[in-house]
Amino acid sequence: MICSMLFICSKNKIVKKKLEMMLQKIEQPSSIKAEMEQYPTPASIAADVLWHAYYNGDVEEKEVLDAGCGTGIFAIGAALLGAKRVVGIDIDENMIEMAKKEGKKFPVNVEFRVMDILNFEEKVDTVIMNPPFGAQFSNRGADKIFVKKAMEIGDAIYSLHLKKASSFIKEMMQKNGWKLGRGKEYKFPIKAMLPFHEKRVVHYDVELIHAFRTLPRL
């Protein structure tokens, strides 16, 4: 239950703030791989996304996948909010090792695996993810790959995308029989972590796309 996991029984706004404070304890990587677009999700955005999913009934007592989990912020947060089972996958072994280490800071049980998203075949209730934006030439179309797999295995999706690409993703979801829920927009900060980054922090317009299945699973 959320009250026992977060150690408080109070108003929604206070619970959400407590979640954000806990997620701030998760360490961010000191370096990332440009070709994988491993931009860590800030605790403030992660808490807001998770609370949105929780409020919609898609976290508590649900099976949740954090696809492309990085250091595990969505996976750990979902577990803190009372998910029945949480799996975090990432193709980068170093990220998974960090996620396992960070998960030990909290009284939660999360299964972290080194795995390509294409190889995940288990059915889950909810997919929460910050997939690669597909902005790097070597990573073009990665966001589409993640969304296609999420539609294959999940019943509800919460996924962060560049605002300029979100209309294409939403159209793809609707063509596959998914209904769009209420999304949200954020200013996503990306800190200078790579040699070609010229500014200390650059903010990108991103959109949280929420969609849910309307047709029976095949």
Q: Classify residue 69: in a domain, yes or no.
A: yes
Residue 5 lies inside a defined structural domain of this protein? no
- Residue 26 in any domain: the answer is no
Dist. CA 30–CA 59, nearest whole Å: 30
Mean pLDDT of the chain: 87
Task: Report percent pLDDT > 70 for the chain.
Answer: 81
In a domain, 36, yes or no: no
pTM assigned to the model: 0.88
Which stretches of the chain are DSSP H helices?
2-6, 12-23, 43-55, 73-80, 93-103, 142-153, 163-175
Collapsing DSSP states into helix, strand and coil, what is residue 216?
A: coil
Predicted pLDDT at 197: 46
Look at residue 183 and tell me if it is in a domain.
yes
Q: Tell me how far apart the alpha carbons of residues 211 and 52 are, in angstroms, rounded to a whole number.
A: 12
CA-only gyration radius of the chain, Å: 16
Please indicate, yes or no, if residue 182 is contained in any of the structural domains: yes
Q: What is the mean pLDDT of residues 203-213?
A: 94
pLDDT at 5 over 60: no
For residue 207, the domain's CATH number is 3.40.50.150
Average pLDDT in the 85-101 region? 96
Q: Which domain holds residue 146?
A: 42-213
User: Would residue 93 count as lying in a domain?
Assistant: yes
Q: Is 90 contained in some domain?
A: yes
Closest CA to 112 of 80, 90, 81, 84: 90
Lookup: tokens for 75:
């996976």
Number of structural domains in the chain: 1
